[in-house]
């Protein structure tokens, strides 16, 4: 039997304020947009290059409410969870694959200056 591992651990800063959605069932979902920055030396020029990867994180229940209340754009967070993918129809009607991180734990790190 094959055992699969689906585990994600990432740190970064929120690119916008968290959004909170309450479903008709009463369950809540908080969506976070996270930028994780990287830095590496260019092999040819030797110059440092920086870039960011962007991720959508979904939190549920108590964790969703707490994240929505405590976090804001620029907040530093650490997230551990699992990767989930789904297929949706884009604005042009073509199918698109979306990957999201389903949070199991969110650690609040640095708050943005002045907040």
Q: Please check whether residue 56 is in contact with residue 39, taking contact to mean a CB–CB distance below 8 angstroms.
A: no
71 has pLDDT over 60: yes
The residues, ordered by sequence, that sit 6+ positions from 42 with a Cβ below 8 Å of its Cβ are 48, 49
Please, which pLDDT band fits residue 3 given cuts at 50, 70 and 90?
A: confident
115 has pLDDT over 60: no
Domains of the chain: 8-108 (2.40.50.140)
Please, which pLDDT band fits residue 42 given cuts at 50, 70 and 90?
A: confident
CA 106, CA 68: separation in Å to the nearest integer? 12
111 has pLDDT over 70: no
68 has pLDDT over 70: yes
51-77: average pLDDT: 95
DSSP string, the chain: -------EEEEEEESS--EEEE-TTS-EEEEEEEEEEEEEE-TTT--EEEEEEEEEEEEEHHHHHHHHHH--TT-EEEEEEEEEEEEEE-TTS-EEEEEEEEEEEEEE-PPPTT-
Please, which pLDDT band fits residue 113 given cuts at 50, 70 and 90?
A: low
Q: What is the pLDDT of residue 48?
A: 93
């Amino acid at each position: 039997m094959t055992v699969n591992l689906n585990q994600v651990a990432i740190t970064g800063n929120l690119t916008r304020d968290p959004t909170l959605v309450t479903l008709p069932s009463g369950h809540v979902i908080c969506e976070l947009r996270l930028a994780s920055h990287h830095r590496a030396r260019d092999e040819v020029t030797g110059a440092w290059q920086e870039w960011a990867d962007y991720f959508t994180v979904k939190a549920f229940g108590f964790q969703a409410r707490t994240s929505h209340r405590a976090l804001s754009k620029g907040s530093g967070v650490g997230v551990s969870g699992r990767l989930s993918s789904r297929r949706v129809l884009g604005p042009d009607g073509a199918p698109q694959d979306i990957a999201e991180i389903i949070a199991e734990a969110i650690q609040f790190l640095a708050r943005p200056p002045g907040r």
